[in-house]
Chains A and B, each alone.
Chain A
Amino acid sequence: MVLGAYVGEHLWRLAGWSPILAMPLAALPAMLLAVASRPLLARVGEPFVLRSIVLTFGASLLIQSGLQTAFTADFRLIAAPGWDRGISLFGARVARGRLLIAGAALAVLALLHLLLTRTFFGKSLRAVSLDREGAALAGINPAGVDRVVLALGGALAGATGPLFASIQYVTPSAGIGPTLIAIVLTIFGGVGSMSGLLLGGLLLGLAEGLAAWAGGAPWREVTSLGLLLLLLRWRGTGLVGGRAG
């Protein structure tokens, strides 16, 4: 995502590209990087989840150092003209840029949803995710699906970069905060559920905002983590996740 943010920032600063216009180009290097990591991940033994987390954490440190060498540690922000202007929406003031970002994110999610549910590739992907060996017996190439999933994940992260850089400053280490939020959201919404992620993101964002407005900034984290704990106590698989076990 941070790599995509730097690409988007350069396109905006040097050529005046809007962050939304920059999304496809910003997706490209992140996608290539994700595909390049495939041989590394393929060599990871069991326990796969733990080892792959350690490996990707190490890789993220390397990427951070590389980004710092390439782009320096300066703060970068895409200050797109007019994006910091507010408009009234149902009686509330909302930044125009944030609305555009929300619209772009929803459009990408809708496309992803269509890809996963309406195409042969989407069905193959879900089949491999459910039963790898069964999918292989049905003629699906799991390794090929893995490659495309990695590319797709990298592209989505990269495309997010310019949007992120237009509301938050970017440094080589700027990805840590969003990664933690993504982990919390994945647990909150339910692993593997897109609708759960969307619903969870909206609920957590609203709860955090209201808590900070009513009680002050320290209540923001208390509220989101408190809600997460309550939800896990009530429903271990997250908001929309399947039944555990």
Chain B
Amino acid sequence: MHQRRPCGTRACLILLLLTAGFAFHPGAADTATLRLGEINPLTGRFAAHGAALHRGIQLAVEEANASGTLRVTLATRDDEARPDRAVAAAEELTTRLRVAALVGGYVDTLVGPISEVAERQKVPYVATASLDERLTQRGYRYFFRISHLRAYVDSMVGIVQEVFKPQSVAILFSATPGASQLARRQRERLEQARVQVPVFEMFTSGIADFTPLLARVRDSGAEVLIADTFFADHLVMVRQLRALEVNLKAFLGAFGMEFPEVVRDLGPSGQFLFGTTGWEPGTTEPGTEAASRAFVDGYRRRFGTQPPPLAMHGYVGARAILAAAERAASRGREVGPEDVRLGLQSLDLTTPLQRLQFDSRGEAKHYRRLIVQIQGSTRVVVYPPDRATGKPIYPMPPWDKR
């Protein structure tokens, strides 16, 4: 029987020539490479959030590759919103694929486990959406994040104290570490300011029936409801507020109020609701206008839609790593984890979101949250005053007047 040769002479010659061609190609030797690992919930209950973060990361990587200063390979893994999958993905990316850095993550139940693996494997990790204060109090050297709890507390308590000025506030919060800590900090600050918090209730995100909790809010006489939970819970909660005719002076949601579906799906019920955002197209930190416009244009060209604010978090997380890697890239070799970590520690970068610098614990120094209110088909920034683009409508009209 005829046996095939593993490599014919002619084929081997062609292979050799091709290899030589690549090796001597100008730029091949001086373009440094970066292996970047991404972990996000692309399926499961946070899939919409993970998809937004992923697109931002993808855009940043594609821009870096197009610029030619760095050749970046991105390995993306789906954690399915499950901590065990997040750990498995982090182990695979750091040990088998040997990535130089990790990026991504939504909610601390997923970010926390990834950060443990990253620290153990000495691979820097930039979390794109994380709040749990304990994560930056561990003395970890490889953990960085672009959001933090204080920004949420400052903006949400700030508008309550300075604009709403109520006697009593109800707080409902999801049973995640970040949301629970946020609610506790809000209660502390409000009680210090002598604002009563008669309802302070935790619930499991994703429940279909908020009626008993909203009845407690109504019976307590609270004027303002703070909902420290996610986008989909807001949709269900607001519809039930209307059904029960709980007339609040303000509804203030923590996460996901910037999703366009809030306006689309809630219709008139969504009018006058307040929420937080880190960035909105057209609402930029002074000095970042050009970068913000370029991001919006680039995103629209690539994905054909307006970027959701969470995509900006993904973009900035990836941009931080790429900027940190660029210093090592100038030496023309494969960028390693230590190169990225050192670069992140001394980073001072103007991004479309904000100026980005990390403190010694890995927290973004200049991160801020804005308060927006849905007015018509747009979201108007109403707080803090130095970033406001419109005036808040307060109190919200009762349900039967909408």
Contact = CB atoms under 8 A, between A and B. Distances in A.
Interface of A: 64-65, 68, 72-75, 77, 79, 81, 84-86, 93-98, 167-169, 171-173, 177, 208-213, 216-218, 220-221
Contacts of A85: 242-243
B245 A74 contact: no
B204 A209 contact: no
A32 B204 CA distance: 34
Interface centre among A68, A84, A208, A210 (most CB of B within 10 A): A84
Contacts, number: 95
Most chain B C-beta atoms within 10 Å of own C-beta, residue among A79, A98, A168, A169: A169
A168 B209 CA distance: 9
A1 to B, nearest CB: 13
Interface stretch (B26-34, B39-47, B335-343): B39-47
B267 A169 contact: no
Interface of B: 42-45, 47-48, 50-51, 201-204, 206-209, 211-213, 215-216, 231-232, 235-236, 239-240, 242-245, 259, 261, 265-267, 269
A95 B235 contact: no
B243 to A, nearest CB: 3
B267 A81 contact: yes
B244 A86 contact: yes
A12 to B, nearest CB: 11
A98 B245 CA distance: 15
Contacts of B261: 74-75, 77
25 contacts: A68-B47, A73-B48, A75-B261, A79-B266, A81-B267, A85-B242, A95-B239, A95-B240, A95-B243, A95-B244, A97-B243, A98-B243, A169-B232, A171-B45, A172-B43, A173-B47, A210-B212, A212-B213, A216-B201, A216-B202, A216-B213, A216-B216, A217-B207, A217-B212, A220-B207
A84 B239 contact: yes
B213 A217 contact: yes
A137 to B, nearest CB: 46
Contacts of B242: 84-86
Given A73-B50, A168-B236, 9 more contacts: A68-B43, A73-B43, A81-B267, A84-B242, A84-B269, A93-B245, A216-B213, A217-B201, A220-B207
A84 to B, nearest CB: 4
Given A74-B48, A84-B242, A169 B235 contact: yes
A245 B67 CA distance: 74
A80 B386 CA distance: 39
Given A65-B43, A95-B240, A86 B245 contact: yes
Contacts of A212: 212-213
Contacts of B235: 75, 77, 169
Main secondary structure of the interface of B (DSSP, over half): helix
Q: Which 3 A-B pairs have the closest CB atoms?
A: A73-B47, A95-B243, A212-B212
A72 B55 CA distance: 14
Contacts of A218: 202
Nearest to A170: B232
Given A73-B48, A213-B216, A169 B245 contact: no
Given A93-B245, A168-B208, A217-B204, A79 B239 contact: yes
A75 B231 CA distance: 9
Contacts of A220: 207, 212
A73 B232 CA distance: 12
A177 B208 CA distance: 10
A105 to B, nearest CB: 14
Nearest to B208: A168
Contact of A94 (B201, B207, B243): B243
Nearest to B231: A75
Contacts of A79: 239, 265-267
Contact of A173 (B45, B51, B209, B244): B45
Contacts of B215: 213
Nearest to B211: A209
B243 A86 contact: yes
B243 A172 contact: no
Contacts of B212: 209-213, 217, 220
Contacts of A86: 242-245
Contact of B43 (A64, A210, A221): A64
A159 B216 CA distance: 34
Contacts of A210: 212
Nearest to B44: A173
Nearest to B269: A84
A84 B203 CA distance: 22
A73 B51 contact: yes
A96 B243 contact: yes
A177 B236 CA distance: 15
A173 B42 CA distance: 12
A69 to B, nearest CB: 10
Contacts of B211: 209
Contacts of A94: 243
A169 B235 CA distance: 8
Contacts of B243: 84-86, 93-98
A85 B238 CA distance: 11
Nearest to B200: A216
A171 B208 contact: no
A166 to B, nearest CB: 9
A81 B267 CA distance: 9
A217 B202 contact: yes
A81 to B, nearest CB: 7
A172 B267 CA distance: 24
B236 A169 contact: yes
Given A74-B261, A169-B236, A172-B47, A177 B206 contact: yes
Contacts of B213: 212-213, 216-217
A172 B209 CA distance: 20
A61 to B, nearest CB: 10
Q: Which of A65, A86, A210 has the most CB of B within 10 A?
A: A86
Contacts of B232: 75, 169, 171
